[in-house]
Structure 1
Amino acid sequence: MTAAKPELIQKLASQRHQIFLEKLSDDEKSTFMALTPDTWEQIQRCWVGSDYVWDLCQTKPEVLLSLIGSGALYKSFEENELDHELTQLLDGCDSEEMLMSLLRQFRRKQQMRTIFRDLNRLVPMTETTTDVTSLADSCIKQACDWLYEDCCKTIGTPMGSEDGGPLRQQHITVLGMGKLGARELNLSSDIDLIFCYPSKGETQGAPRTLTNQEFFIRLGQRLIKVLDSQTVDGFVFRVDMRLRPYGQSGALALSFSAMEQYYQDQGRDWERYAMIKARVITGDKADGQELMDMLRPFVYRRYIDFGAISALRDMKRMIQREVARRSLQNNIKLGHGGIREIEFVVQSFQLIHGGRDRSLQKRPLLEVLEHLGSSQYLPSQICQDLREANEFLRNLEHALQAVADRQTQTLPSSEDDLQKLSWIMGFDSETGFLDHLNVIRDKVSQHFEAIISENDDTEQKEDSNLEEWDSFWSSQLPSEEELALLERMGFQSPVDVHQRLLVLRDGKVLKTARRQSTERIDQFMPRLLQAVLREDNPDQALLRVLTIVEAVLRRTAYLVLLIENPGALEHLVSLCAASPMITDQIARHPALLDEFLNLGSLYSPPEKNELEDELRQQLAHIPEDDLETQMESLRYFRMSHMLRVAAAQVAGKMPLMKESDYLTWTAESILRAVLDIAWKQLAAKHGEPSFDEGDNPPGFLIVGYGKLGGIEMGPGSDLDLVFIHNGNSRKMTSGEKPLENSMFFTRLGQRIVHMLDTSTISGQLYEVDMRLRPSGNSGLLVSSLTAFEKYQNKEAWTWEHQALVRARVVAGDPSLAQQFESVRANILSNKREQGKLLDEVREMREKMAKSLGTKATKAGTSEEAWDSKGEFHLKHDRGGIVDIEFLVQYAVLAWSHDHPSLTRWSDNIRILEDLEHAGLLSHEDAVVMNEAYQSYRKKLHKAALQNQSSKIRGDKMHKQRQTVIQLWNHIMQDDVPCNVPC
């Protein structure tokens, strides 16, 4: 601390120093006189800042002596050190009165140590709060243990069973709430507790039988008395039980089932806010985990919960009224820009997003704040401002409470006290201190208002027509006026729109919905009706968004997000107007509305490494054995990025190649994560595949074929996969339940397929096609690289070699991947008999056209007959995508023996470029093929967004079709030499 010592401080410190020495015995005095000047300075600073410590030093100087002698003033606690010290102190305790006395002595000593270290800034604020919390934990646990044993002796042992199972002894579970739960207790905090127990039942072993509830109520009453009662030795901790179910009118202890029932049926918004920080302090560890798992769904919704904002606002308004009523403006916790506003900002994000982002399901405020910044929920500057403000305000809170060991957050009114406080906080003057405090509070308030408070300007800026839509939706207008309003505002079919709106407004679902849900709908619908008028086809935009509204009628917190964020509503309407696919996706998975909170990322695709980092972070906080949650997280990851692709495409901000890259990278990131999860889970059960000394560990590959292999994925593309390993099939895995290596890899493949194509509540991750593996559906699910190579060289059909052109390793062992690429290149560059190859490629093309093409193609209709009455299948008809793909595949198989560079790539665009560079295709023909191929694919992607088929009118894209057919006819003739440019 660098602040100069004012005269008042100097005088007080000198007086207290002299008085203290006069009260000591000669031996004690000699001990203190031997202290260094720095230690004396720190002791005097503590006396100036804390009347509580000063009074204690006068009456109990031996407490300070013991702290100095043990060195405790200058060292941090080891883990469990405080608990061990209290255990030794309580050894031999034989009465409740003795327990109360010893606990108070222990608390007194630790309080002096903590205040000394805090006021002298020997430790960061977080260590102070951790030390106070550890003290509370130790006192609660050991007092509870002592009292439990005593109760069992006198009134019997509580017994109970779950679901009719065997009886077992019951223990109390004490939940620490608020700052105790978060390990953030301040110097003189109350402790908020909830008492509960696992099961109903009765006591055994005493003359009179009690219910378990009666037993634990008595135990709880005694625990409160031991901790809270004011005796000649003071108190341990003030206990507040008002956060329990039903508050002060509720039973002091409830069973787990009663707790679950209460929060499920009657839990209120402020109780969700309180339960964020709940932590089990005593009781059986498994019981505590069961309770927390039971309560988690009440706190954290599976879907985004923007409605939490309004609940927090209501709480803040209530506090603000109380602040005004009690003149608490100088309260640094509840007043303007205080600690509570920081907590509200942080916890609002926990309540809104915590159900989906488990990294937010933490208790300590600073840890959550760190995640909010790193995950871009909040700008880093806001997080830094709030972090610095929290540290300053909590240090100030400690300085206020250290004075008299009293729970206060109010600035002193006297000048002398304010001068002492300013000096303790490191300021040379009261003015400098107050100016700094006001700057901090103003920053906090500014951020709070931006995030939590209502934006009163929003509605003022909205079109005044909103009032008319309010009247419409609240049924204040006659039916004919409602129709006239719809027509006047620009709806093209007002009668149809009116009928559709009446189905929702006057329907049974809304009539029977909760009041909160109907209020949110009433608030949202006028805004929606106003927003759709900005679209070219407001009727279609409205009808599409209404499908989303109807999908969330039971979860209207989603609508609050759109009410709170007009920009999000505007973009949602635009995207739904442009794409029924987007509409259907959001209606099926409303959690995707969360993506509209960050419109920048919605339209800006991440790079490949950013995608992988994002998925890694999402999965890092899910337990490795929780496969269901991992699968749900993977599905949401894919859906959210599919939405971003669609949004960027609708907005015209993503060219075709970037779109395919993005969709392919997303699939690759997921496949790598799935392989990692499946391997770890299988290895945990059976061990790792073994190998001979000197060899490399066996590897596993996921090889992508088709669109995945060709880096050409579109919306809705499935995955063509082949699995390969290089393990020694004769060896076993290393675990307690060993498998043959080959069986390990087979089960690994099965697990990967299961994770990808199993339908969960969020649907299927990807449809998986494994038919391109050696021997197709009749072959092994996973092949060794040796077997794969042998099959490709000896048994594979030409069409399988064509498929291999588009094969690419997408996940797995890098060393094995290099070996696979070498095998692929060798197979593709084998010298082939040209006439036979040509016949087989043409024959396969003809089969596909007849099987999958339109009627005109199947009938062999000539190109001269193309007209608007017919259809053209962009992929399978003559002149379409498959023609181009077969031409490219034929070229690689026919010419790569002499031109090995043709085997480098798996995507058609770069192979076409290499064909041109090798002189095998003219520049003009390469450009034409490239442009036609991209035009077709772009058309397909747009059709997918519109939920349309791959067929277009027969007279569309006529020029591209003719060009492709001409090239096909020229290249695929019998008399075209394989090494002559076209």
Structure 2
Amino acid sequence: MANPQGGRRSTVTRLVRHGFTDTAAADRLLAAPALAAAQSDPVLLDALGATADPDQALLGLVRLAEALPDDQRGVLLDTVTSAKPLRDRLLGVLGASEALADHLARHPDDWESLVTYESADLHPATGEFEQALAEGVWGERGAALPRPDALRIAYRRAMLGIAARDVCGTTDVAETAAELADLATATVRAALEIAAEEAPEDSSACRLAVIGMGKCGGRELNYVSDVDVIFVAEARGDTDEGKALQAATRLAARLMRLCSDTTAEGTIWQVDANLRPEGRNGPLVRTLSSHLAYYQRWAKTWEFQALLKARPMAGDTELGKAYVDAVEPLVWHAAERENFVTDVQQMRRRVVDNIPAAQLERELKLGPGGLRDVEFAVQLLQLVHGRGDESLRSGTTLVALEALAAGGYVGRTDAASLDEAYRFLRSMEHAIQLQKLRRTHLMPESASEVRRLGRSMGFRGDPATELRRAWRRHAREVRRLHEKLFYRPLLDAVARLTPGEAHLTAAAASQRLEALGYADPAAALRHLEALASGMSRKAAIQRTLLPVMLGWFGDSADPDAGLFNFRQVSDALGKTPWYLRLLRDEGAAAENLARVLSAGRFAPDLLLRAPEAVALLGDEQGLRARSRAALEQEVMAAVGRHPDPESAVAAVRGVRRRELFRSAAADIIQAYGQPVGAVPEQTGTGLVSGPAATAVDRTGDAISDINAATIAGALRAAVRARWGDELPTRFAVIGMGRFGGHELGYGSDADVLFVHEPREGVADEEAAQAAFAVANELRRLLQLPTADPPLLIDADLRPEGKSGPLVRTLASYAAYYRRWSLVWESQALLRAEPVAGDEGLGRRFVELIDPLRYPASGLGADGVRDIRRLKARMEAERLPRGADPTLHAKLGRGGLSDVEWTVQLLQLRHGHEVAGLRTTRTRAALAAAAEAELLAAEDAQVLDEAWLLATRVRNAVMLVRGRPGDTFPAEGRELAGVGRYLGYGPGHAGELIEDYRRTTRRARGVVERVFYEG
């Protein structure tokens, strides 16, 4: 005997397996008399299970079958069970759209519109839709109906076919959107025809054109969306213009009501004319000349952005085309408006800010990572670059995105990601709207609706979870790329160029190069030709970059060198896929590179030795100096990977080269970012503050750390080559002078002392030999011939100078300093600081020398006289012959030596009792002296300002000339380069010289009073 309970469980299991959620209702509906002819056919259940919502699809099928007469019901069910294309289309629509199921229940004969399945039916355009609507309104179907209702029914009937192709995958989301826009176009034309029928006198009085805007204009319409339009009219014949506009306004208003009014047959959609001049406050209809007058005088940036999608849609074809032809030049010159890019960016931010907080996380369209992010980014790129590139002038987002990628304005990977995400989000939006044919862009909250949406998007395992995961992934990618493209610094710079500047012809380029200050325009043109000629993607991106970069090069003292260096770097990296993409897309990379390449020889020479360092210019983090610990870790790892000391030190030099470039690039970029002639600020301690002071301190720290790490790496290589992991004696390198003071410049030598201490059980002679050998090997390795900036090791500040041993034990240093130390050696030790080698030994050396450099009794009168005598002798003997003492940054009047000796004298005299003076850094000691009132705050500021300026001059000379120097360059371009680095614009190098003389003269006055005591 059969088990009814078991049969029931089997039925429930089968229904659940096919995706039904209300199995009781489904079981009852499947047994409905209206489906009697199809109940036993297994394909029906499979087909229902393939829909977005099997429960809804089954209910819709039963309602449709019940609405049909018996004979037609049989035809329906027979066709459903035997014809797979129709079955998939009909059930797919019923499962995806409750609203279209309602339509079929009211107009059951319309199911037959889904029967046709031929190639001609796959992609209907406006003409096919016009024909279908005409048959529904003026043909036999609409004969007994009021025209507006007939139009609504015919519109829904046409939408059935679009939805069927959509849910069955016959069309993709872009084709569906285009079909919806074409159906909207046909509908507006039909509505205008109905309005003209109702008021023939109005129709004969005017020519009226309807311009499609927004998504309809771009042929990317949603299932339910406002159809944005603009109306333009002209008088017909002898009609008075005023009367013609009144007639056109009545026609336009009637057209809008026909589409927007709600009757028993529902509504079609709202026709929105608020994009017209003055919005809802302006006249509904204007003449062409009135439109143009408004756009030329009053229009805001967003109005030109909206006009990008304008296309003639209905009405007078000739007038519509004339309107679009007239406004098109205005659209493609809108980017030249002041603050254009900023205005568009602010408008997008306002859209996000106006989203209710409760909806922000559900917004598919307006929220961050939504459709608007894609559309705004694409439109901004179009408006900026489309002025000279007509291939970008499409009103359709995905077509424009493809053109942007083809032209090199957007990376192909980025474009593909945006395309995929946009299609996904539009598919979600379509599926949400299709369900009830309501205008919404919000993710549904109901679990059943989210499940249906997930199934409609093809997710079957856990539809809701899978949908949310995919949505979040696409939204994150959209937001990332929106931020990258929409806020691209290059955009604003390109927008500020005129079309002729942005797309250079040879003649225009030559004139512009001369205007920008290029000394050899012919050579510059050759570089441009080499970089940008041809049809390659590389050339296309260069054509986008170069017009802007020419201006940045032109802002420097040597534009020709900047362009030449750019060509060299581009040639070196031309086949590297990330290089041009970095310049086009990432942060301020292009402008940073232009500044660096045109600021002198030092940084470009480093970059050409390691072109991949361009990647550092893409973001702020890339330009931040790395810590000494991080550098040492990298250097030691590099040494460990190489078997011989020479190759190990070559790898260490590679790290140094990159880090020197990082420091120089940061220095140049910061300097170029300062206002011309920026005035130093004063801190409470009397020291100078502000970006320039910060840059000097940062550069000194960075170069000192780079050189310390380099020496540590070379020391490891020297030890490992002969002794393995451990030297027989502890060995430390002590930084002296500017090295110990963290004040190295780009061209500074590294002053050092070497100290060692035998390990337990090692004979003194063996330890001494090992220490001497490793010191010499260290110096040899660092002096190997190389094209990199040299790191010269100078050990002449050791006891007995060049005559003394290169390396001493700690005990030997102690004995020497106890018996023989002179006051100048105590002064030199003020800057001593361990920089490499054994840390414990370095600390003990510092403990040894502290009593010498900060003597408990201070510096006696004899010591003070010795210091002053040494300083006077140095001024007399060491200044180069013929050098101008007012312009020598190191030894000249009020220069580095004057300031440093003054500070060091204060340290020797008061360092024991003033803790702040116990520092190797000049500026820190100067601040401590002011704080302890050993120096007036005004005097401290004067000395600090001079020291900073002299240091910046030395750094500038090295950056510009590529070799160290203590005086201003004599050659005009080099002097201009130094001036530009220091904040002096073209033609103001003379002011720099005068400012330097005035600053150092004041400093020398303080030195005379404080150091020489008058």
Q: TM-score range by the shorter chain?
A: 0.3 to 0.5
Larger radius of gyration: 2
User: With structure 1 as the length reference, what TM-score do the two structures score?
Assistant: 0.46
User: With structure 2 as the length reference, what TM-score do the two structures score?
Assistant: 0.45
